[in-house]
């Protein structure tokens, strides 16, 4: 079983963000593997362990995206490849998906492609379905559990808004994994050592045999949202009942119930 997992390097979720001349600045916050992608790597590793498979990690980005790949390697991925090309600097979701699909095809013989549900920076959540469509494979998104995987078929439990949906799909397929799947493992000491020494090859568009896919979405400006103007009122009272009565009256007066 051959599994490709895609990871992204993002500013830590605790980062305070500002915009300087239209460019996002995360100050001295560290760059980390997208938290949702850790679940994807965990799922890929568990499937590989159960089905005698191997896990190839990929990331699209600049040189610093290597850190996300090293995290995947330290968790246990067998290989890691950085996809990088100056022509992809402003790639939108469709362009990225076409690049991901080309990487899957170059790797060859892939049974499953695994993504996290979305990246916490760009917040699009489009990559899994788009990549599946470019490949002509089914997408099974928001996977919370994989009860069966055999003979060219995968059965998954999807966490949808209304509860759980059990779906079967033919392989090869594209999955996106949600947090319910399993707690991602911590990289082992040996894993971290191995990852720090690993060679991470770089694939350019030329290596993938494609020209830069055209981006269809453009960003004209990025701004910080207006500061929230809140008139803060602290409610006090002699006891809980008195506080609750005051608070209940105030909430009702806001007209939101």
Q: For 215, which DSSP code?
A: P
Closest to another protein by CB, 197 or 224:
224
Which neighbouring-strand residues pair with 139?
174
Chain positions 95 to 134 lying near another protein, rule: CB under 8 A, are: 97, 120-126, 128-130, 132-134
- Regarding 211 and contact with another protein (CB under 8 A), the answer is no
Alpha-carbon gap, residue 104 to 61, rounded angstroms: 16
CB of 60 to another protein, least distance (A): 17
Number of Cβ within 10 Å of residue 121's Cβ equals 17
Chain positions 15 to 34 lying near another protein, rule: CB under 8 A, are: 15-17, 19, 24
Residue 240, helix vs strand vs coil:
helix
Window of 13-21, 41-49, 54-62, 189-197 that interacts with another protein by CB under 8 A: 13-21
Alpha-carbon gap, residue 171 to 135, rounded angstroms: 12
Q: For 56, which DSSP code?
A: E
Q: For 17, which DSSP code?
A: -
| Size, binding site for another protein by CB under 8 A | 84
Among 87, 190, 202, 251, binds another protein (CB under 8 A): 251
Alpha-carbon gap, residue 73 to 65, rounded angstroms: 13
Residues 6+ apart with CB under 8 A from 253: none
- Regarding 11 and contact with another protein (CB under 8 A), the answer is yes
Among 179, 185, 198, 212, binds another protein (CB under 8 A): 179
Among 31, 107, 145, 167, binds another protein (CB under 8 A): 167
CB of 12 to another protein, least distance (A): 9
Closest to another protein by CB, 202 or 248:
248
Alpha-carbon gap, residue 116 to 39, rounded angstroms: 6
Window of 56-64, 77-85, 151-159, 190-198 that interacts with another protein by CB under 8 A: 151-159
Site map 40..79 versus another protein, x via CB under 8 A: ----------------------------------------
List C-alpha distances in Å: 1 to 132, 225, 250, 257: 18, 46, 60, 54
Closest to another protein by CB, 63 or 180:
180
| Helix H or strand E encompassing 80 | strand 79-83
Token pair, residue 148, equals: 């069966």
Give, to the nearest 10 degrees, the angle between helix 35-50 and helix 66-75: 40
Closest to another protein by CB, 8 or 158:
158
Chain positions 217 to 236 lying near another protein, rule: CB under 8 A, are: 217-225, 228, 230-236
Token pair, residue 170, equals: 């033919």
Closest to another protein by CB, 150 or 249:
249
Window of 58-66, 67-75, 102-110, 136-144 that interacts with another protein by CB under 8 A: 136-144
């Amino acid at each position: 079983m051959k599994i490709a997992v895609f990871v992204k390097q993002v500013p830590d979720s605790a980062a305070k963000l500002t915009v300087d001349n239209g460019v996002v600045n995360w100050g001295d916050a560290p760059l980390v593997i997208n938290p949702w992608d850790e679940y994807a790597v965990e799922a890929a590793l568990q499937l590989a362990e159960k089905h005698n498979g191997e896990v190839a990690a990929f990331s699209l980005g600049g040189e610093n995206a290597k850190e996300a790949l090293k995290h995947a390697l330290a968790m246990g991925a067998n290989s890691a490849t950085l996809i990088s090309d100056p022509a992809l600097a402003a790639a939108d979701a469709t362009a990225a998906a076409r690049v991901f699909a080309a990487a899957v095809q170059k790797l060859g013989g892939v049974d499953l492609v695994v993504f996290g549900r979305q990246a916490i920076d760009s917040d699009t959540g489009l990559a899994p379905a788009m990549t599946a469509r470019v490949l002509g494979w089914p997408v099974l998104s928001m996977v919370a559990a994989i009860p069966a995987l055999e003979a060219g078929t995968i059965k998954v439990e999807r966490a949808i808004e209304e509860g759980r949906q059990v779906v079967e799909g033919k392989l090869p397929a594209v999955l996106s994994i949600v947090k319910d799947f399993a707690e991602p493992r911590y990289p082992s000491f040996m894993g971290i050592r191995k990852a720090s020494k690993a060679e991470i090859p770089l694939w350019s568009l030329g290596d993938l045999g494609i020209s830069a896919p055209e981006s269809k979405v453009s960003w004209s400006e990025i701004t910080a949202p207006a500061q929230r103007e809140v008139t803060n009122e602290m409610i006090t009272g002699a006891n809980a009942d008195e506080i609750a009565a005051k608070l209940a009256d105030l909430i009702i007066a806001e007209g939101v119930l």
